[in-house]
A and B are shown apart, each in its own frame.
Chain A
C-alpha cells in the first residue's frame, strides 16, 4: 500500500519498552516457580517427587528451585496440596562463576555493536523459535546494539541452545575456538544449562558448560524472548543478573 508510511506513523512505536521499563504485556512470560516456604512437613517431599527434572530440592522449611533444570511444567504449581510459588517475571539470566570470565569480559568494549552467533547444539526447536523472536519488530534486538552474524569470526557472543548432542560437540567447540577474544557464551534454555529433559545420556553431553566455558545461563524451557534479551544484557553487564537457584525465603522472625 502506498500509505504505509502514514499507517506506520499512526501505529506508532509498538516495540517492547524493556529494558528501560518493564514489559507488562500479557503473555510475555510463562512465569516460573520460586523457592517456597511450606507449612506441611510432607509437602516438600511431594513436590520433589512431582518434579520430572529434579529441579526441586528440599530446603529447611521449604523447597529451593534449581532454575537451570526447571522446564515450567507447572506440576509443582498445580499440586493439590501446598503448591510452589509462581513468579511472573522474565529477568531470569544468571551469571555462572567461571574462572576465565575476567579474561573474556566484553563490558564497555563494544557497547552498542555486539555480534551474536547462534548455535543450535541439538535443541528441540523451541529455544530457536524463541530466540528468533528477539529479531522481530516487537523485541527488536537491534535497538539495543545486538546483531546476528553468520560467522563466528566476527562474533562477540555465542548463543547456545540444546544439550550438545554428540554430532554437535565438535562444531560447537570449533565455533567457540574460531571466535576472537574477548568473547562470552550465553547458554539458552534448560538443555544448554543442564541437559534439561535429555540430561547427560548416550547421545548428549548434558549442557554447553561440559565443553566450553559458559558465562551466562538463561533458564527456561524455552526461555521467553525477553529472558534471552536479559541474558544478552547480563553478558555485557548492562543489567544485573538473577540467581540460578531460587532458595526459599528466610522465615521472618516474629510472624512464624
Chain B
C-alpha cells in the first residue's frame, strides 16, 4: 500500500471514530474509541515510519481554491518525524481512554468526546501534512477548536470554562500573528504553497524577515507554551480530562515547535544570529521558570503542566542554538543542536504522556491528585508506581533513561558555542547553558518530590492508604510508554540517524557521522574517516563490543574534534546500562557473600523514639520543596496571608495559620499590567454611563454634531 492509501485509511478511520459512536450502544462506546483511536495511531505510525525510515514520498494535490491557489498535502522528513511522535502518543492515550472514559459514561456524553477526539487527531495530522498556508491554517484552527472543546469537556464546571476560554483566546491571538506572518511571506509571491514560499523567502528584505520571525515565533510560542505565553498550560491541564491533558502536553505543544521550526528554519530561514539568540534566551528562561513553578506545586497535573513549559523551553533553546549555528555557517553543530532539540521533544512526549496517564491512574485509584494527601500508594498500586518511576527517572534526566540523552546533548551543544567567533554570543550561550543546567538540577528535586511524596512513605489520607491498582488497559499503555522511555534512552545511536533525516533539509548537513562514529563497521584496515590510532584506542576501550550481533553504526555517541582535541564529548547509555546491570549484580553478590555467615537484624526504622509514627509527622511535598521556595523567594514573590482562627485571647494565639500564594512571575509582569490598564480605562469610560436618558440623547446629539463638523471639514 502506498502512503496515500494509508493516510486515506487513517482519515476514514477518524471519520468512523467520529460517527460510529452515535450508532452504538452506550456500553461499547469507550472500547470503540480505544479500538479506532489506537488503530488510527498504528496507521500513522506505519505511514510515518515509511516516510521517515524507508524514504517513501507523499504528495497529494487537492482542489483549487479561488484566488488562494491549490490546496496540497505533502510531507517531508520533518513532518514525518512529528507524525511519528504524535502517533506514538496517541496509541497509548487511546488505550488509556478506553478505561478512563468509563467514569464519564453516567453523566457526560462520551459520543461527543469521541467525535472531538478523532477530529483532534485528524486535524493534528492535517496540520503536519499540510503543504500550503491555507490548509495549514484551516487545520490549525480545527485543531485549536477541537482541543478547546476537549479541555472544556466538563463544561458545567466554572473553572473548566474559564481555563478553556483563556486557552482559546491565547491560541487565537497566536493564530492571528502566525497568519499575518504567512501572509507577509506570501505577499512577495502570488501562491500560498510551501514550496513557493520557500523559493521566495531568500529575496525578502531584512525588515520583513524580522517581522516574519517575530510574528511567527511568538505566534507559535503560544501553542508551545513558552514564556510569556505560558499562562494557559497550568490552567488548562488540571481541568481537562486526563487523556486530554496528556495530549495537550505530549502532542499539541509539539505543534508550536513544529511551526517554529517549519517557518524559521525551513520556509523563511532567519539570517544573522539575533533571531536564534532570542529563541535561545526565551527557551532557557521558559525552562527555568517552568521548573521553578513545577517544583513548588503540590497538585500533580499542574506540576506536570509547569514541567511541560520547562521541557518546551529546553527544546526551544536547542532550536535557538541550531538557528544561531546554522546562520553562522556551522551547519554540523547546528544539525547536532537540532537533533538534540527534536530528540528531547520526542522524549518529552513519551515520558509526559506516561506521567499524565500515571496521574490519571493515581486519581482513579485514590481520588486525589494532591501530593500532600497521597503517599505510600506504591503498596496499593505496585505496577503503576513502577512505570511512573521510569517516567520520573526519565524526566529527571537520569541515565540511562531517555531524558538524559537529549538533555545531555542539548547541554553539550551549548558548550559547542566555542566554535562561534563573537564574544557576546558566546556569553549569551554560556548564561543560557547555566540556566539549563540549573533547570536540570531543579528537575531532579521536583521529580524526587513527586515520586517520594506521592508514592513512597506513609499514606497521608485514607484514600491513599486504600489505593487500588489501575485497570489493565491503563497498565498496558503505561508499560508501552515505559518501554519506549527505556528504548529511547539506551539506543540513542539508532534514534539519532533517524532524526538526522528530518534535520538534513533544515541544517543542510548530516550530523550522523559527527555524532555516531562507525565503530561497528569500521576496522583498522578500512578506517572510514576515522584515524587508525583513534579507532584502535576506542577498540581498546571496547567501543566495538556487540558488532557481531547488532546492526547499525555503533553504540557510542561521540563528537569528534580536530587533532588537538580528538573527543569533544562522548557517552554511551547502551554500555552504561550493561555496566549498571553488572554493578547491581556485583552489589547483590557481595551483599549475599558478606551476610552469609552473619545474622541479619531487622529493626524498625529510627523514628526519633516516637510511640507511634503518624503520617502527620512525616515530610510533606510542600515541606520538601520549601527550600526551593525560600531560595527563589525573590523570583516567586509569595504573598503571605497570616491568620489565626484559634485564640484564647487577643495576644494568646494557640495556632497560627500562614498561607503563601504565588502569582506566576509572567502573570505578574506581563499579563496583569495590560489587564489593569484596560480595567482603569474602562473605569474612566464607565463615568459616561450616568443612567439618565437625557444624557444618552445628548451623547447622540454630540456625536451627530461631531460627525457633521468632521464631514464638513473634510469636504
> How many A residues, CB 8 Å from partner?
12
In B576-626, the 8 Å CB interface with A consists of 601, 603-604, 606-607, 609-611
Give every chain B residue within 8 A of A171 (Cβ-Cβ): 609-611
A153, A170, A174 pick with most chain B CB within 10 angstroms: A174
Tell me if B's interface is mostly helix, strand, loop or mixed.
loop
- Judged by a CB distance under 8 angstroms, whether A201 is at the interface is no
Give every chain B residue within 8 A of A153 (Cβ-Cβ): 606
In A33-90, the 8 Å CB interface with B consists of none
Whether B601 and A174, one on each chain, are in contact in the complex, defined by CB atoms closer than 8 angstroms, is no
Candidates A152, A170, A181; contact of B606 at CB < 8 Å? A152
- Judged by a CB distance under 8 angstroms, whether A151 is at the interface is yes
Give every chain A residue within 8 A of B610 (Cβ-Cβ): 171
Interface string of A157-198 (1 = CB under 8 A from B): 000000000000011101101101100000000000000000
Instruction: For the complex formed, measure the closest distance between the CB of A122 and the CB atoms of chain B, giving whole angstroms.
Output: 13
Instruction: For the complex formed, measure the closest distance between the CB of B346 and the CB atoms of chain A, giving whole angstroms.
Output: 44
Give every chain A residue within 8 A of B611 (Cβ-Cβ): 170-171
Instruction: For the complex formed, measure the closest distance between the CB of A108 and the CB atoms of chain B, giving whole angstroms.
Output: 18
Whether B601 and A170, one on each chain, are in contact in the complex, defined by CB atoms closer than 8 angstroms, is no
Tell me if A's interface is mostly helix, strand, loop or mixed.
helix
Interface string of A210-223 (1 = CB under 8 A from B): 00000000000000
Give every chain A residue within 8 A of B603 (Cβ-Cβ): 177-178
Q: How far is the CA of A178 from the CA of B601 in the complex (A)?
A: 10
- Residue on B nearest A153 in the bound complex, by CB: B606
Whether A177 and B604, one on each chain, are in contact in the complex, defined by CB atoms closer than 8 angstroms, is yes
Whether B604 and A170, one on each chain, are in contact in the complex, defined by CB atoms closer than 8 angstroms, is no
Q: How far is the CA of A180 from the CA of B602 in the complex (A)?
A: 10
- Residue on A nearest B611 in the bound complex, by CB: A170
Give every chain B residue within 8 A of A174 (Cβ-Cβ): 604, 606-607, 609
- Residue on B nearest A167 in the bound complex, by CB: B611
Q: How far is the CA of A153 from the CA of B604 in the complex (A)?
A: 11
Give every chain A residue within 8 A of B601 (Cβ-Cβ): 180-181
Instruction: For the complex formed, measure the closest distance between the CB of A42 and the CB atoms of chain B, giving whole angstroms.
Output: 50
Whether B604 and A175, one on each chain, are in contact in the complex, defined by CB atoms closer than 8 angstroms, is no
- Residue on A nearest B612 in the bound complex, by CB: A170
Q: How far is the CA of A171 from the CA of B606 in the complex (A)?
A: 10
- Residue on B nearest A180 in the bound complex, by CB: B601
Q: How far is the CA of A153 from the CA of B611 in the complex (A)?
A: 18
Give every chain B residue within 8 A of A177 (Cβ-Cβ): 603-604
Q: How far is the CA of A151 from the CA of B603 in the complex (A)?
A: 15
In B91-113, the 8 Å CB interface with A consists of none
Give every chain B residue within 8 A of A175 (Cβ-Cβ): 609
Whether A151 and B606, one on each chain, are in contact in the complex, defined by CB atoms closer than 8 angstroms, is yes
Q: Residues on A close to B: CB < 8 A?
A: 151-153, 170-172, 174-175, 177-178, 180-181
With contacts A152-B606, A177-B604 known, what are 11 further pairs, Cβ within 8 A? A151-B606, A153-B606, A170-B611, A171-B610, A171-B611, A174-B606, A174-B607, A175-B609, A178-B604, A180-B601, A181-B601
20 CB contacts below 8 A, A to B, read A151-B606, A152-B606, A153-B606, A170-B609, A170-B611, A171-B609, A171-B610, A171-B611, A172-B609, A174-B604, A174-B606, A174-B607, A174-B609, A175-B609, A177-B603, A177-B604, A178-B603, A178-B604, A178-B606, A181-B601
The 8 A-B pairs of least Cβ separation, nearest first, read A171-B609, A178-B606, A177-B603, A174-B609, A153-B606, A175-B609, A170-B611, A178-B603
